[in-house]
C-alpha cells in the first residue's frame, strides 16, 4: 500500500510539473501575442482569457506540487492576474477589477469543487479547455492572415507557420485528455489523503 501511495505521489508530481511548464509557456506566449496584437484584435477578451487560463493552470501545477499551499493565497494570486495584465498598458478600467473578481471566484469555485468531489483534475480540465478555445481563435486568425497573404508560401514558411501552432495544440490536448480521463475515472471515488487533496478550511 505504501508503494502504491509513493507511486501516486510521484505521478502527481510529474503531472504537476507538466502543468506548471505548459501554464508558464502559454502565459508568456499569450502576453507576447497581446503585446504584438497578433492573436486578437484590440479590445478582444481572448488575450486576457488566454493569459488568465494559463496562469490558473500554472497555479494548478503549484497546488499539485505543493498541496499544503494555502487556498486563500492561490485565490489572491488568481485575482492579481488581470491586474498584472492591465499593468502592461498602464490603464485600470472598471472591467479589469470585474475580471479580477471573476478569475478569483473561478479559482475559489474550482478549489471547492475539487475538495467536495475528490476530483483533483477539474481545474486542469476547465483551464486547459479555455486555453484550447483561445488557441483555436488564434489558429483561425493566423490561418486568415496567411491565407490572405499575397505571396506564395515556400516549404520553409509553411513549416515555420505550422510548428508554433502544432506544439501548443499537442501540449493542451495532452492536458485535456489526461484531466478528462481522471475526472470521469474519479466519479464516485474519494481521493486518498496525501495525493493532492486536502481540507480547504485554511
**Which cell is 168 given?**
501548443
Residue 154 has pLDDT above 70, yes or no: no
8 Å CB contact between 51 and 30: yes
- Grid cell for residue 146: 496567411
Residue 193, domain member (yes or no): no
Residue 28 lies in a domain: yes
- Is position 191 within any domain? no
How confident is the model at residue 185, as a pLDDT?
82
Q: Is residue 104 part of a domain?
A: yes
Mean pLDDT is highest, among 70-79, 124-133, 146-155, 182-191, for: 124-133
| Rounded distance between C-alpha atoms, residue 152 and residue 32, angstroms | 27
State pLDDT tens for residues 73-96: 888 988 888 887 777 667 777 888
Domain interval for residue 156: 2-185
Residue 167 has pLDDT above 70, yes or no: yes
- Which residues make Cβ contacts (< 8 Å) with residue 64, sequence separation at least 6? 12, 13, 15, 16, 19, 120, 196
Q: 138 in a domain, yes or no?
A: yes
pLDDT for 177: 94
Examine residue 197 and state whether it is found in any structural domain, yes or no: no
Confidence (pTM):
0.75
Residues in the chain: 202
Q: State how far Cα 15 lies from the chain centre.
A: 13
Query: What is the tally of structural domains in the chain?
Result: 1
Amino acid at each position: 500500500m505504501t508503494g502504491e501511495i509513493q507511486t501516486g505521489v510521484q505521478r502527481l508530481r510529474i503531472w504537476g510539473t507538466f502543468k506548471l511548464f505548459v501554464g508558464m509557456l502559454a502565459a508568456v506566449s499569450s502576453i507576447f501575442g497581446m503585446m504584438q496584437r497578433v492573436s486578437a484584435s484590440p479590445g478582444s477578451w481572448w488575450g486576457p482569457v488566454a493569459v488568465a487560463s494559463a496562469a490558473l493552470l500554472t497555479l494548478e501545477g503549484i497546488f499539485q506540487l505543493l498541496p499544503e499551499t494555502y487556498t486563500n493565497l492561490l485565490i489572491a494570486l488568481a485575482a492579481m492576474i488581470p491586474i498584472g495584465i492591465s499593468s502592461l498598458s498602464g490603464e485600470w478600467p472598471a472591467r479589469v477589477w470585474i475580471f479580477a473578481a471573476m478569475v478569483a471566484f473561478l479559482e475559489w469555485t474550482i478549489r471547492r469543487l475539487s475538495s467536495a468531489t475528490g476530483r483533483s483534475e477539474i481545474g486542469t480540465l476547465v483551464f486547459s479547455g479555455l486555453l484550447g478555445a483561445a488557441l483555436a481563435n488564434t489558429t483561425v486568425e493566423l490561418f486568415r492572415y496567411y491565407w490572405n497573404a499575397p505571396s506564395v508560401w515556400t516549404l520553409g514558411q509553411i513549416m515555420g507557420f505550422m510548428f508554433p501552432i502544432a506544439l501548443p495544440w499537442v501540449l493542451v490536448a495532452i492536458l485535456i485528455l489526461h484531466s478528462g480521463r481522471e475526472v470521469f475515472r474519479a466519479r464516485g471515488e474519494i481521493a486518498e489523503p496525501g495525493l493532492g487533496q486536502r481540507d480547504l478550511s485554511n
